[in-house]
A = this chain, B = another copy of it.
């Protein structure tokens, strides 16, 4: 609906950020991104809504190849929120911004009546610079490219599900929320053949790869045995009947890399503290166009569909 109303060349690619050069010719290209955070609960193992809100926009900018520079933070507070909670969140926003090396340059606060919000919702938007010559996009993806994930999948989504206490599961599992801009810098310094980056948040790895396959008009074949998944996440997924490929991540990236560069890229990623478990999980092929397939551990093959609807509201 919004795309139909607002149709324009910057919005239509539906990437993680809009990319533009603000002045014709002079000055660098900028990436500009926005995201609202409504995660429930707002404090969870491994992070909170404040840290998530900073990392989320930092990561969207980083996926465009931008160096994130300036963030704006806007809060919608529900009347009755304890000041001590807001203080924790403010402090967490400050630490996360500092850890990611970004400046919170602007902000806004609104208050709504009790029952018209849920404690706090946070919107972050951000601006970053893209170095000249860098063009990360699904249109750069080629047959034979390798698909890399920077670590274990499904940690954030499963940590949130467990933290809600609605499941009869007790697990020591933390969200992977982390800023990815340092990892991206490491990757881009190591090889020239990075085609495209995406962070598999809502909808997980499956959704991001489907989007890339469709945009590139190519296929992705995943190797189930190569997917890095924590045993506890795998176990919880099996009990709940959820496919970890669809579970949200908040500190992982998917990189599509030229075949000749994949080994060097993996080595570089693994040297970074948040990339130690990076793995090649699949290959880009020419057929079946626009689709993602999974070669299962049992030697079969199945289609990894685009997910219809939102499996888990308020995961971020």
CB within 8 A of A32: which of B20, B72, B108, B111?
B72
Which residues of chain A (18-36) have a CB below 8 Å from chain B? 18, 20, 22-23, 26-28, 30, 32-36
- Report if A34-B93 is in contact (Cβ < 8 Å); known contacts: A11-B104, A26-B26, A117-B116: no
How far, in angstroms, from A90 to B1 measured CA to CA in the complex?
Answer: 7
CB within 8 A of A35: which of B11, B74, B94, B121?
B74
Taking a contact as CB atoms under 8 Å apart, the answer to whether B123 and A90 are in contact is no
Tell me the minimal C-beta distance from A131 to chain B in angstroms.
10
Copies of this chain in its oligomeric complex: 2
Which residues of chain A (43-76) have a CB below 8 Å from chain B? 69-70, 72-76
Residue of A11, A83, A103, A123 ringed by the most chain B CB atoms within 10 A: A123
Taking a contact as CB atoms under 8 Å apart, the answer to whether A5 and B70 are in contact is no
A113 closest partner in B (C-beta): B313
Q: Check if A6 is an interface residue, CB within 8 A of chain B.
A: yes
Q: Report A's interface with B, CB cutoff 8 A.
A: 1-2, 5-6, 8, 10-11, 17-18, 20, 22-23, 26-28, 30, 32-38, 69-70, 72-76, 83, 86-87, 90-91, 93-94, 97, 103-113, 115-118, 121, 123, 125, 127, 129, 310, 313-314
With contacts A36-B74, A36-B123, A111-B313 known, what are 16 further pairs, Cβ within 8 A? A5-B93, A10-B70, A10-B106, A11-B104, A17-B106, A18-B105, A22-B69, A26-B26, A26-B27, A33-B106, A34-B123, A35-B74, A36-B75, A108-B123, A117-B117, A123-B125
